[in-house]
Amino acid sequence: MSEATSDPMSLAAQISKKGLPPVHKWNPEFCGDIDIRIARDGTWFYMGSPIGRQRLVRLFSTVLRKDDDGEHYLVTPVEKLRIQVEDAPFLVVQVDEQGQGEHQNLYFRTRTDDIILADADHRIWVAFTNEGEPSPYIEVRDGLQGLIARNVYYQLVELGTERVSDIGRHFGVWSAGEFFILGDVE
């Protein structure tokens, strides 16, 4: 592994260059693992210590990619470094609604300031633990998901409504003309 890959500041300098193609088009060689981990609460760690500079975390998040092998990588035009992600690489910390009912649009903001409109390409879904606890997610971009923070999930529940369809009665929210199921109505 080159020296640039062992230091996040060097990596940041490489990826901050302007005029590069989008990360999903870059096809560099795999260079190995880098000791960066994204915790379930959205905190980024380097060598076991939290990365305190939010601008650096934001920069890294812009070159984050999830490949077909299910692994997460920081990708530059010349290097591809595997990182560890405990759950989802993004944490959704805010939701704003515009409109109401079927004409409602829900805009989500991640901890790294990505803004996502829940729509057909950015779906909301809920996974449940064995104990029945919800873990709500939204598709952020290119196969990368965001875990919706508990307080934001409660806001969604407040905005929710029941809907009857061919597959049953569900509770969920509308956004961009799509209905996203948060749970079944019993």
The 10s digit of each residue's pLDDT in 44-77 is 999 999 999 999 999 999 999 999 999 999 999 8
- pLDDT, tens digit, 9 for 90 and up, residues 88-115: 999 999 999 999 999 999 999 999 999 9
Same domain, 96 and 81: no
Global pTM? 0.84
Looking at 32, 57, 85, the residue that finishes a domain is: 85
pLDDT of residue 7: 52
DSSP the chain: --HHHH-HHHHHHHHT-SSPPPGGG--PPEEEEEEEEE-TTS-EEETTEE---HHHHHHHHHTEEE-TTS-EEEE-SS-EEEEEESS-SEEEEEEEEES-GGG-EEEEEETT--EEE-BTTB-EEEEE-TT--EEEEEEEETTEEEEEPHHHHHHHHHH-EEEEETTEEEEEEEETTEEEEEEE--
Q: What is the mean pLDDT of residues 23-28?
A: 87
* pLDDT-wise least confident of 19-33, 50-64, 132-146, 168-182: 19-33
Same domain, 104 and 39: no
Q: How many domains does the chain have?
A: 2
- pLDDT surpasses 70 at 161: yes
State the residue range of the domain holding 114: 90-184
Same domain, 12 and 79: yes
